[in-house]
Amino acid sequence: MIKSTINSSIRNCRYISLGSLKIIIFSIFLSNAVVYTTLCQPAYFKLMALKEETNYWQDVLERDVIQNESIIPTMDQLPDMIELCRHTFLDKGVDVASLNVERFGERREAGTGATVDYALVRLRLVGQQEQIPSSLEAIEDNKKISVHIQEVLLAEGKGEALLKIYFSTGE
């Protein structure tokens, strides 16, 4: 029984010509190409798109962690923060004629935890009127300190600015 099956297989192979062998190989190649283009290639492109999107969002997360990593300065660093604001004005060509710490934020609750307070600092500025707003924007954009502009009064060649500088107190 096994011998007859082998003999019939050998007889059938004798009838395969070179042309029919080429057709069989070509059809196998063509079917592989069709399977690749219909099944594998779209899945591969989707996989690559997902990898790109994953890389993008990982970069966003890392950038966000780096930006939010800044530690809120403490009250003992307040003079340095005020000096940084003064230097920002000087870099923009605006002189700080005087500065005055008007008041400190009042803590509403007495506790042992860390809280965020603020100091109100009034600056009297001397310089060109166009340079004062740009220097105020530079101060607000500074990531090292948290400063908000409370009030600005501009006159010809001078002005006043009230800055609210945040800092942490407690542990």
pLDDT per residue of the chain (171 residues) written in tens, 0 to 9: 566 666 666 666 666 777 888 898 999 999 988 888 888 888 888 889 999 988 888 887 777 555 544 467 777 888 888 898 888 888 888 888 888 888 887 665 655 556 778 888 999 988 877 888 888 888 888 877 888 888 888 888 788 888 888 877 765
Report the predicted TM-score, pTM, of the whole model to 2 decimal places. 0.53
Alpha-carbon distance of 63 to 9, in angstroms, equals: 68
Task: Write down the pLDDT at residue 27.
Answer: 93
Pick the closest to residue 162 from 78, 82, 93 (CA basis): 82
Q: Which residue type does 57 have?
A: W
For residue 55, the Cα-to-chain-centroid distance in whole angstroms is: 12
Pick the closest to residue 83 from 68, 71, 69, 101 (CA basis): 101
Fold adopted by 75-168: Alpha-Beta Plaits (3.30.70)
Pick the closest to residue 135 from 33, 143, 52, 127 (CA basis): 127
Tokens matching residue 152: 């600005």
Task: Write down the pLDDT at residue 28.
Answer: 93
Furthest-apart CA pair in the chain: how many Å? Answer: 113
